[in-house]
Structure 1
Amino acid sequence: MLLVASAVVFAMVRSAPGDPVDVQLGESGGISLSREDEDRIRAERLVELGLDRSLPEQYALWLARMVGGDWGTSYRTGQPVLDEMLDRLPASVALGTAGFAVAVVLACGLALLAGRRPDGPVDQVVRLATLATVAVPSFLLGTLALQVATGTTGYRIAGPASLDRIWLPALVLGIAVTPTMSRVLRASLVAERGRLYAVAALARGASPGRTLLRHVLRPAVGPVLILGGLAFASLVTGSIITEAVFTWPGVGLFAVDAIAAQDYPVVQAYVVLATALVVLVNRGVDLAGRLVDPRQDARAEAVA
């Protein structure tokens, strides 16, 4: 999966119009160069960056270095890409974790409210609200939230990663993920409520709320764990738009700047990092799901 993703992105970024040398020449600070000097400098830079080679040669060379731990050097900053990523990764992890926590609280609360009386008035309102939220693009939600917060709370849009800045992008990320998580958990809760053990608990006199919390919630969490794990990975490495809107100094904002500057090594490293995180989280979620709901092993054996 990592190999396929890296190859696809490698080809895509290099098929885009222009190249890093064009960007660098455009940022030469207004220095006037003759056409001959510009062509000479461009040719020299292409050789320095290895962009004069064929695409398969470039990919093979990049892959060999990546496997050896050399992620390349950023064309824009001149620093090792791995160091740049590691410097910014804690900010993205903090934002993703905070956003995931918001999503878990909101999704669980909404799903429990909706699942207590399926198809009741509360369920209908929750389903309509989550459906409406899905229709709002994350960049629009972030922009609106930023305008409101800066006008009412004095929120600082610039600055380092800090607690007084993290709450707003975390809230936006959490709200964006909540609809999907709440719908999956609600559907799982409704399905588990119809099983024999839940019906037996109700027959013994347990209230619907008690049955939901004590007997239904744990087995219903299994499907949500898988979705939640993937959501967490996407929040850490896939919140490019939110980091750009709030200028949050994470790997997402770094990747946005790299895309604009056609900084190939950074873009490729970002994709590899994001893909690796998704794979690792997916494995961890699978193990956690088996611990929470051992019936998954039984179902897997039955299918085999």
Structure 2
Amino acid sequence: MTERITTPFGAASTAADVVAGLDLGGKRAIVTGGASGIGVETARALALAGAEVTLAVRRPGPADEVAGDLRRSTGNPAVHVAPLDLADPASITAFADAWTGPVHILVNNAGVMAIQELTRTAGGRETQFGTNHLGHFALANALHRALAAADGARIVSVSSSGHLRSPVVFDDLDYRFRDYDPFGAYGQAKTANVLFAVEATRRWADDGIVANALMPGGIHTALQRHVGGSEYIALARERFAAAGVHFKTPEQGAATSVLLAASPLLDGVGGRYFEDCAEAVEITERTPVTVAGVAAYALDPANAERLWEVSLALT
């Protein structure tokens, strides 16, 4: 049993706190969904520390304005925008083909949550699994050579406490037999994000690549648009409060992502799940108010290897 990792940072820390004093000059980072929510704060902190940052987004037009703000606020001119639709395999291929040079940091941050009606990607996959997991899986594999060229790359897989709602149901990934459950589908996709980090580290550590997953915390962003926005947030705040957990600002929500992406405290660490800037405790049971911890099934190496092989076949 490996020792649980803690850091001097915690739930109240911000992304700027985590990068204070760090020099990421010469590092190149990609942040998917980097133009809004915790993505933009992740990008801001990495740029503030001197990294070259590319915002990989579905809508480059509005993101150009965000990139301009990041350049001004950080004093870093190397903030770029590139089109990427994680639900479209052709878009992923085009993004990877256009990339030159190494990737030192890949933050798989973009995602959709609890789409109310069953929808599918162009490839026929349930949208949340197809976008949140398969899209990022395909992207990381397409960028493998660039990640290996960094000689010490880190992949950050943004998961959620939502993973506690469902394991990966291998016999029915796309809800062709099960009744569709918006949060169950989200939970399955977020579990897949953790399993990806476990298996990517096992397969790619010899290439100098490690991956970790995280729960950013409860944060009010556009992610909740499919479930009622502010009304959902009010209920979520109550649930978090019942568990003794406070909601975070986007700047605080980005802290754990930035810790995994940049902190020397995590050099060589991979295949783990973090929350509040520390490794989470593994749990084997969920209660109605559980919003912390990582499910044992999300770290299971056999599940991780199986998901990787299935994902290869699907992509």
**TM-score, structure 1 normalization:** 0.27
**RCO (CA 8 Å, sep 6+): is it higher in 1 or 2?**
1
**TM-score, structure 2 normalization:** 0.26
More helix by share: 1
> Which structure is larger by alpha-carbon Rg, 1 or 2?
1
